Amino acid sequence: MIFNMAKDKKTKSGEITDISKSKAKREERRKEVAKEKRNRMISRAVSFAILGFIAGVIIVFAGKNIYLMAIRTTASTDMSAGLTADGKIEGVNVSDAVTLVDYENITITDEDVSTDEQVQKDIDELLEEYQEIDYDVSLAIEDGDKVNIDYVGTIDGVEFEGGNSNNAGYDLTIGSGSFIDDFEQQLIGSHPGDNVTVDVTFPEDYQQDETVAGKDAVFEVTVNGIYKAPAFDDAFLEKNGLATGEITTADEYRASIAKKYYETNLREFLSNYIIENSTVNTYPKDYVKIMKATTKANDEATMNYYSQVFASSGMQAYANVWEVTGDEDEFAYEKSLSERANDSVKEAMVYQAIFDKAGLTIDMEAAKAEMNETNGDETYADSMIENYGEGYLAQNEIHDAVLDYLVDRYKDPDKMPSEADEAETETETETETEVGTEAETVSETETSAE
């Protein structure tokens, strides 16, 4: 019995063990199935997420393109679109749309219309034309100086073609970049009569003479002299035949230049003032859209012009119109285009509002006759109307009429050019034009002869 009981116990224990193993296997299998199911679900979720991301990108990209197509401006060269024949914006009551600055009571200081910088620039340019070479050995070359030098260049001790001035004297402006490498900078600090050894390296892509490209060269340079501008005084005017008519002194000459710029500066100040200090209450949407279109046409014309210039020089041409304006992309360009169009519309509305309020008028027939006379062509005005439309030309006349009105109101008669000054300026302009035309004719003749 004891044996049997033990056997029974062993049998029951074995049964229990067998049951536990079977249960464990089922549990393990259940876990494996659950794990596989979970992995499949995760994998499916990841796949859905990736597909969702890709779809999102596609949707965003498509949406971006759709949005871009919706806001993209179509260029137009119709400059008179949205304008009446007399140059006013169609369907707009500017007296309600614009709050004008008090243009009848503008305070203008001397600084607002200063001509000092312009006068000095003109005098400096005049003196530069009359520079004379100075051989004073105490003078030292500075950056920006114009000097006269002679030079002999060698590579590995042997002279090369084009590297010798042959004692003919060569005028060189220091800092102009006319010579390779830092040739010019190595002359700074030297004096007339000095002999200077200049070491340079020709650029690897030197196209003027490929045989010297990338090579080291030594130039023995003789500084002959330094050009110096004369003092601007009465003696200078007398010596160079510039003391004529009513202008006999340096002060009078300076004053005559100031008068040349005074009216220009006054007009610019008044224009900026009335625009900046007036407020547009309501922008005419249709005309803003038109201004965007014509502004873009101008940008595209600029792009085409510079692309041709760049291409002729072997440079990379503009690929997109927004590169011309410095915008990052087409979205940024459209934003800046809207801002510029709004500025142009504001200017037109402010000028039109002052024109109406001040009771000003324009005479288009007289304006056309003046255009023809100024340009020496009886058909000039008609061609302008054909290209730009009468409304656009009339709008420009409104602009000029308002500025003429304001200038007459605020000008200092003592600072305005006299009729004699204006006649002299016109004569100088005509002479320069004739000289330029003659030079072009000579150049064309020489080219034909070659």
The better pLDDT of the pair 260, 207 is held by 260
Reduced to 3 states (helix: H, G, I; strand: E, B; else coil), residue 391 is: helix
Summarize the confidence of residues 387-408 as an average pLDDT. 97
Please give the pLDDT value at position 36.
66
Please give the pLDDT value at position 31.
64
Give pLDDT tens digits for 298-309. 999 999 999 888
pLDDT bucket at 44, cuts 50 / 70 / 90: low
Give pLDDT tens digits for 400-417. 999 999 999 999 999 998
- Identify each DSSP E strand in 174-321 by its residue range: 195-201, 216-228, 279-280
**CA-based nearest residue to 175, from 188, 191, 193:** 188
pTM: 0.70
Distance CA 273, CA 279 (A): 12
Q: Are 238 and 232 in contact (CB under 8 A)?
A: no
List, in sequence order, every residue forming a beta bridge with 83; answer none if it has no partner.
89
Q: Report the range of poorest mean pLDDT among 36-40, 96-100, 103-107, 385-389.
A: 36-40
pLDDT bucket at 18, cuts 50 / 70 / 90: low
Please give the pLDDT value at position 5.
37
Summarize the confidence of residues 99-109 as an average pLDDT. 97
Summarize the confidence of residues 239-261 as an average pLDDT. 93
Please give the pLDDT value at position 317.
82
**CA-based nearest residue to 357, from 295, 415, 405:** 405
Helix axes 285-312, 330-357, angle to 10 degrees: 120
Q: Are 217 and 151 in contact (CB under 8 A)?
A: no
**CA-based nearest residue to 257, from 119, 432, 422:** 119
Summarize the confidence of residues 237-250 as an average pLDDT. 91
The β-bridge relationship of strands 98-99 and 279-280 is antiparallel
